[in-house]
Amino acid sequence: MAKATPVGDEFVDGLISDLNKQLGEVAYNLAGGTSPTEVNTFVSSGSVLLDTIMSNRRQGGFPVGRISEIVGEEATGKSLIALHALKNTQKQGGVAILIDTENATSVDLLKNIGINVNEMMYLQLGTVEEVFEAMERIIKRIREKGDDRLVTIVWDSVAATSTKAEVEGEYGDYTIGLAARLIAQGLRKITQFIGKMNVCLIFCNQMKVKIGVMFGDPMTTPGGKAIPYHASTRLRLYRNGELKSGKTIQGVGVKAKTIKNKLGPPLRQVEFDVIFGKGIDDETAWIKVLEAGGIVQRAGAWYKFMYEGEEIKFQSKNWKSLLTKTEGLHEWAKSKVEDSLVIDVRDELETLQEAKDFEL
C-alpha cells in the first residue's frame, strides 16, 4: 500500500505558490498576517468608546478593507460620525470622499468638524447605478496607480438614493426590489477588491417602519439584505435625551450599539453626546466608563481619582479643561478607557468553560 503524502508547511506553501501563479494573488497563509482578511488599519469615528467596541482593540475604529454600515432614525448622528471618519482619514494622510445623495451637506459643518474641504472629494450623485460606478472607478484607479494611501468613501445615504428606472419613469411605476438587487450586484463586484487595498467603505442608512408588524421590532433598513450581509460592522444609533442650556437645546445624547461585528464581540453599546454644529463630545463620555471601572470615584457632584500619586478632585463641567491642563492626563485617561472596554475573548472563553465545568 502506498504511503500517504504528508501534508506540511512545504506542501501548503507550494500549493499557495501554484494557485497564485495561475489565478493571481488569491491564496495566503494566514499565519503571515498579510492576507486581505487581516485588518491592520482603522479610521476613528471621533469617539474613543465607539472605536473600542467596534474593533475590540486600542486605537481602533472603522476597519479599513471592510464595509461598515451606520443605521438609525433621523437626528441620531449617522452623518456626523461618518464625517468624523473623513476628518480622521485626512489626519492619517488619506483621501476623504463623500458621496452625497441627500443634497444635505453643509460646508460650514464640515469645517467646524475639522475637515479640510480643499483636499476632500465631494460627489453629488442621484442613482444607485451612479454610486457604484463611481466607487468602482475610484477603486480601479487606486489599484492601477498602486497607491497605498488610505481612502475612505462615505455614502450618505442608501435610503435617499433612487434608481435610474425611478428617475426616468413615472410616479406610481412598480420598482419594488430594484434598488436591493442593484445594491447586491454592486457589492458583489467591489467587495473582493477593497480587502486588498486601503479602502474603508462607510454606508449611512435610515430606519423605516415595516407595515403590518404586530410583534417584535418593526424597524428595518432600506436596500435589502445585501449591505447587512456584506458589512463587517453595523452600528445602530438611538436618541438618548437632549442637552439643554437653560431652554436652549444644544445637542442630543446618542446610544450606539454594534448590532453586527466581525472584529469583536457584537451587541455592545456605549453612550456619548453630540453637540450641534461642533460634533461628538468625546471626553465627557469617558467619565462614566472610568467610574464603572473603579478608576474614578464619585461623591455627589464631585469626582476623584489618583494620578501619579496625587488625588485629583473635579466636577464634570471641569473635566475637559483638566485633561487639557494636566500634562499626560489625556493619554492616561484614554488608555484607561480603552483598557476598560477591550474584551479578551480568550479570558471570556476560559471563564465560560470554568462555569460549565462547575455546573457539571
pLDDT in tens, 66-109: 999 999 999 899 999 999 999 999 999 999 999 999 999 999 99
What is the reported pLDDT for 196? 81
Distances, alpha carbon 89 to alpha carbons 3, 82, 146, 207, in Å: 56, 11, 19, 27
Q: Is the pTM of this model over 0.85?
A: yes
Helix/strand/coil (H, E, C) string of 109-137?
A: HHHHHCCCHHHCEEEECCEHHHHHHHHHH
- For residue 142, the model assigns a pLDDT of 86
**Which range (42-56, 155-169, 266-280, 339-353) has the least confidence?**
339-353
In this predicted model, what pLDDT tens digit does every residue of 11-49 receive, in sequence order?
888 898 899 999 888 888 887 667 778 898 999 999 999
Cβ neighbours of residue 191 closer than 8 Å, sequence gap 6 or more:
67, 230
The average pLDDT across 335-339 equals: 97
* Alpha-carbon torsion (79, 83, 86, 92), positive or negative: negative
Helix or strand or coil: residue 154?
Answer: strand
Cell 451637506 belongs to: 105
Q: How confident is the model at residue 7 (pLDDT cuts 50, 70, 90)?
A: very low
Does position 350 have pLDDT exceeding 90, yes or no? Answer: no
Confidence (pLDDT) at 84: 98
Integer Cα distance of 76 and 56 in angstroms: 23
Contacts of 211 (CB under 8 A, 6+ apart): none
Q: pLDDT value at position 1?
A: 45
